[in-house]
Amino acid sequence: MSKNQWDERFAEEGFVYGTQVNEFVREKAAVLPESAKVACFAEGEGRNAVFLATQGHEVTAYDQSQVGLDKMSELARKQGVGVMPVQADLTQEEVGTLNNDAAVMVFGHVPKSGQPFLMKNLFTSVKPGGYILVEVYSEAQLDYGTGGPPSKELLYDPADVLRWVEGCKVLHFYYGEAVRHEGDRHTGLGHVIQVVAQKS
């Protein structure tokens, strides 16, 4: 989806994907050091970034939709935390070499041509020894119809994900079914790819 399309989606009343943290992030956040510096990519309306901020982390959230980031800032204020919003097209704009302790991306679905650039952004943002946490829908999700893009072109191949984490210490890799109830766009049993990796 283009920036304007995401702006239109996030302009809907309420939070499209809800305000509760993604289950994978909730389960795996324990791997992060205390008071970690965390970058959340394709963060949308900010549910994961805000959760991580409530856990005491210093969080920057990247998304191409300013509307989504504005809603995230509103959610953060209600939770009594701060999250730094950065509007950027992560498939075209480099975030640069940063010193983050972790990078997190949940359901950051972009065309296959942009996926390598996006993943490079994630890895570049993390310092050696830092962590990468990713959950996305796999191409098999098309058979489930419970959320995510209705196009294989916008879904992920597990072989690609394994290639992107080559050279890292892979702490967790999962390719299979998971139940997600997140707003009205992720509704039930789906098929995901998860990875937790430590950058070498």
The CATH number given to whatever domain includes residue 179 is 3.40.50.150
Domain that holds residue 165: 3-198
Is-contact 161 143, C-beta < 8 A? no
What is the model's pLDDT at position 167? 95
Predicted TM-score (pTM) above 0.85: yes
| The two three-digit tokens of residue 4, written as one number | 């304007």
| The two three-digit tokens of residue 113, written as one number | 């041509």
Q: Which parts of the chain have pLDDT scores under 70? A: 1-4, 13
SS3 readout for 117-177: HHHHHHHHCEEEEEEEEEEEEEHHHHHCCCCCCCCHHHCECHHHHHHHCCCCEEEEEEEEE
Helix axes 66-79, 47-54, angle to 10 degrees: 30
What is the model's pLDDT at position 184? 83
Question: How many independent structural domains does the chain possess?
Answer: 1
Is-contact 190 180, C-beta < 8 A? yes
What is the model's pLDDT at position 183? 86
Which has the closest alpha carbon to 40: 107, 115, 92, 139? Answer: 107
In sign, the C-alpha dihedral spanning 112, 116, 121, 126 is: positive
Angstrom distance (rounded) from CA 27 to CA 5: 31
What is the model's pLDDT at position 17? 86
β-pair type (169-182, 37-41):
unpaired
At 41, which amino acid appears? F
